[in-house]
Chain A
Amino acid sequence: MSTLFPTRETTADPRTDADWTGRRAFETNLRALVGRAYPRVRGMGREPSWVFFEILLPFLGTSAFVLVYRALQAPEAYVGFVVLGGAMSAFWLNVVWMMAGQLYWEKSQGNLELYFAAPMSLMAVLLGMAVGGLIMSGTRSLAILLISMAVFGVQFHLTDWALAVPVFLLTMSALYGLGMMLASLFLLWGREAFHLTNLAIEPVYFISGLNFPVARLGALGAVAIATVPFAVGLDAMRQLAFPGMPGLAGTPPPQIEALILVVMTVVFLVASQRLIRIIERMARSRGSLSIRWQ
């Protein structure tokens, strides 16, 4: 306990004591971030069923789409598209289930009041959720990729690593930034959160071209590229993993898509910071926002 919560020297004057230095605030927020990421990472080891339900079964789900293409005798590259889509979908599922809906779940569980009362930034909590979620989903995503490569013989022709790594990281930043923003919105929307979470899965899969190149959707695909980080990130990763594939023509090159992701990241993070301040203010003034079942 003493390591996690070190005792601090207090002064006789509470006002001086409450006036935190920047370093103290940073350390506290960092501890909050690590503390929020901890149950997600640690929980992976404590719940063995996770491996079966979060890795093996989603792989089988992805396999179903692979077999649809095989049954249709589609070009082999389409199998690769499905596998990459299946691997990336782990992150999207994590964003909608464990980021966007999370503050609402926390409210239902009665934890949200504690978050508001604790001397830390809620952004640190959201970032902690994102980091923990990223590690969870990264494991699942990697497992789906590796198993698919072994079972279906999918080959990725990734040559431009210098671009692929930043594109992947930018995709994650934009996705989890969106998740942080949605977390505040979903909290405001109350019970709709659960249904919005559900709504954000298949429809987003479709407009993002989960199992086919998004360019084939025409104008709808263009709108998705401009607004949905999952769509633009997935398309950029596909272009880098399968360079020169004719099916992928019709969308901006990965360099431009990387720039779109940068803009999305900035917009989502700024918006999430603003929104979190608004809900924090509402929680204090209304008094009902953080109370269970309100």
Chain B
Amino acid sequence: MTAPAPAASGHPAFDGNGFDPARAEGAGLADTRRHLWTAIRLGWQVESNWTDPLLFFIYTVAKPVASLLLLVFMVQIVGGTGAAGEAIRTFVVLGSALWAMLMAGIAGPAWSVLDDRERYRMLKYLYVSPATFLLVLVGRGVSKLAVGAMGTIVALLFAVVVLGLRVDLAAVNWPMLALTLLLGLPPILALGVGLAAICLQTRQESWSYPEAFAGALFLVSGVVFPLSILPAPVQVIGLINPVTWWVAGVRGAILPSGSSSIGGAGSLWASVTRTLVPDGATTIAVLLLTGTVSTLAAIVLFRVSERRARERGLLDLTTGS
């Protein structure tokens, strides 16, 4: 007695020997693009579909505007007046506004791990979906980054309209701004993915971890003060950190005549390179270099964490505190 021949599925990949390994491996770039886009859309829906657009907008911009005001008042109160005060205020305002976007990009992947594991309990289902988990996290990070970018834009508009920040649009180095923004996105998301890798391992709900990590990064990235006031070993951490170069690049592009957060008299940068501040090309080159290294490091960290999480059953382990 012989087994009946399988019925033809009508799909060329399955007819014949019945299994086509290529289908399990995905269709390459097209599939990757589709998965990423789905993850971005999913992230956007999770972020925004619970309320009406106006309320969502208010929630999105209140945080960066308040952060901006907190710093501006600090400058104002200690006598930041006159031309020097104006320069410091501009420096602080730009750094603080950019921070909203940065913070969102860093926190996005980590919060999506925590949301999906602890609250929605969907992490294991996302994990076994056809899209690679890394791509899902990157997509969620991109949508969060987009929300953060809204906050940055509104904070900048607020600074111009209410706080009197002066930006000469004709003087803005638009090509450098576009290039810096573009080159900065992968390392920002990579930091978020690295943090997500850590949150995969932590047994307690780690909601505050991204904020704490970003707070520490705030110290070493030259966001609101130049790196030169930090001790030399801490300046090294700042200089190998892509966020520092991203912030410096964007700031330099928007205000070409403004102060740089990197370099300056007595700084580590000046003593090593014998130049006072890095020029635009150097900023872009170092951003590219540090960004590539940190992205690769984040991927390695994520792979290690992912394997450990699978081995120890951490993907669907919910905790509570």
Contact = CB atoms under 8 A, between A and B. Distances in A.
Interface in A33-65: 39-40, 43, 46-47, 49-50, 53-54, 56-58, 60-65
A39 B50 CA distance: 31
B207 A72 contact: no
A217 B219 contact: no
Contacts, number: 137
B67 A108 contact: no
Contacts of A78: 77-78
Secondary structure dominating the interface of B: helix
A61 B63 contact: no
Given A53-B208, A78-B78, A216 B73 contact: yes
Given A61-B216, A97-B208, A109 B118 contact: yes
A165 interface: no
Interface string B209-222: 10011111011000
B203 interface: yes
Given A70-B229, A71-B229, A74-B78, A64 B215 contact: yes
A85 B219 CA distance: 17
Contacts of A111: 320
B195 to A, nearest CB: 10
A50 B204 contact: yes
B70 to A, nearest CB: 5
Contacts of A293: 120
A217 B74 CA distance: 11
B93 to A, nearest CB: 13
A212 interface: yes
Interface string A256-287: 00000000000000000000000000000000
B320 A192 contact: no
A152 to B, nearest CB: 13
19 contacts: A49-B201, A53-B208, A57-B212, A57-B215, A60-B218, A60-B219, A61-B214, A68-B74, A68-B75, A68-B224, A71-B88, A72-B75, A105-B118, A108-B119, A109-B118, A190-B50, A195-B51, A202-B63, A202-B70
The 3 closest A-B pairs by CB, nearest first: A61-B215, A57-B212, A60-B216
Interface of A: 39-40, 43, 46-47, 49-50, 53-54, 56-58, 60-65, 67-75, 78, 93, 97-98, 105-106, 108-109, 111, 190-192, 195, 198-199, 201-203, 205-206, 210-213, 216-217, 247, 293
